[in-house]
Amino acid sequence: MKETEKVEIVYFDQEGYLEDGKELYEIGKQTKQFADDVCDEGFDHLFLLGVGGTWDEFLRMQYVMNKYADADHQVTLLHAAEFNVMGSKSMTSNSVVLTSSESGTTPEVLQAVKTLKQMGVRVYAMTKADGPIGQAVGANHCVAMKNDHGSGGCEKGYYLADCFGLRILNRQGFFPKYDEFIEQSKGFWPALLDIRKQFEPEAEEFAKKYALAPYTMFIGSGALWGETILFAMCLLEEMQWKHTRYISSADFFHGTLELVEPGIPVVLFKGEDECRALDDRVDAFLKSGRTGDTDVTVIDTKEYAIPGLDSDFRMILSTYIISVLTTDRMSRHYELVTKHNLNYRRYYHQFDY
């Protein structure tokens, strides 16, 4: 599909998205500088800190960084709520933490950040500098997340995180093509816009067929596992009040396969890393005819091109692509079918609990 082709994308600001892409290239220089500061000062361990959706989003960063790094430079993902009650025995005053909060008010993250600061840990955040978390971290250690369901999914936040994480890997000697990745990123946003145009009819068809289903199963693995959880839990359960079951391809054959039967919508996300072999096994089972279930959908990031992208970066960009397809496009078409605004909440942020 040509970049100039005009295709309507519901609830999406195409021009704004491309402008955000240009702005992200500059903002990414800030997170790169954070990484350089960390490496210049030295650190003993990098932790990622999230809760709910941000924990899901950081799963892909942990996967990517640990794939490239050696055994002595592995990254640890902490759940903020668990950290607040359990702490971390491997955390020291020489550790570094990257956290994230779109609202800037996430209470579990705020509590954790305050504890970390008291410990003397260096904390960096993708959040609003003037929010409670930003104020606790310090404005000089913050960048805005740039996630906006009016013009994108999570991929813009992923890019800023990658400018930080991949730069650290680069400084450690594990990701020598950092500069090439950043230069090629100028072409990410037009390509991801074209992918939206390509997928839009499929997103509409899927939602019309399954958005009102009482129960849907989602399967993923590897770098896409975090997005699998995110879409099922945060987008469909929280924002659409839909009943879902998310299961990894690795665990599918150890219980959940017995729940597949005629009439149950099953969605498999296939990625482009080592765990694709696990996805292939699930794919073969679902298409074998043994279950009698014909409501099977396979979404394969490999089918979506990003022109000019080095093949070494496909695994990283597969997470951007799945966010475009699901967190952005599929959720918007669910909203149209269910007539349930994605911003509606019964309990979440409605009162103290």
pLDDT tens digits, the chain, 353 residues: what are they?
455 466 789 999 999 999 999 999 999 999 999 999 999 999 999 999 999 999 999 999 999 999 999 999 999 999 999 999 999 999 999 999 999 999 999 999 999 999 999 999 999 999 999 999 999 999 999 998 766 655 667 999 999 999 999 999 999 999 999 999 999 999 999 999 999 999 999 999 999 999 999 999 999 999 999 999 999 999 999 999 999 999 999 999 999 999 999 999 999 999 999 999 999 999 999 999 999 999 999 999 999 999 999 999 999 999 999 999 999 999 999 999 999 999 999 998 898 88
With the C-alpha atoms ordered 49, 53, 59, 60, is the resulting torsion angle positive or negative?
Answer: negative
Amino acid identity of 17?
Y
Q: How far apart are CA 143 and CA 129, in angstroms?
A: 7
66 and 116 Cβ atoms separated by less than 8 Å: no
Query: Around Cβ 319, how many Cβ atoms within 10 Å?
Result: 29
Supply the pLDDT for residue 349.
85
Supply the pLDDT for residue 150.
54
Q: How far apart are CA 253 and CA 56, in angstroms?
A: 22
Supply the pLDDT for residue 353.
86
Looking up tokens 């496009």 gives 329
Nearest-Å Rg of the Cα atoms of the chain is: 20
Q: How far apart are CA 336 and CA 272, in angstroms?
A: 31
194 and 94 Cβ atoms separated by less than 8 Å: no
DSSP strand E in the chain: where?
46-50, 76-79, 96-101, 122-127, 142-143, 216-220, 244-248, 266-270, 296-300
* Rounded (5°) CA angle 306-311-315: 80
Closest CA to 249 of 291, 295, 285, 281: 281
Supply the pLDDT for residue 153.
77
Please report the domains of the chain, with CATH numbers, ordered by start residue.
14-175 (3.40.50.10490), 188-338 (3.40.50.10490)
Strand order in the sheet with 216-220: 244-248, 216-220, 266-270, 296-300
pTM of the model: 0.95
Bridge partners for 249 per DSSP: none
Q: How far apart are CA 78 and CA 80, in angstroms?
A: 6
Q: Is 159 exposed, middle or buried (0-12, 13-18, 19+ CB in 10 A)?
A: buried
- What does the DSSP 8-state code read for residue 342? T
Give the CA distances from residue 252 to residues 141, 215, 281, in Å, rounded to whole numbers and listed in that order. 40, 17, 10
- 3-state SS class at 211: coil
Q: How far apart are CA 58 and CA 166, in angstroms?
A: 13
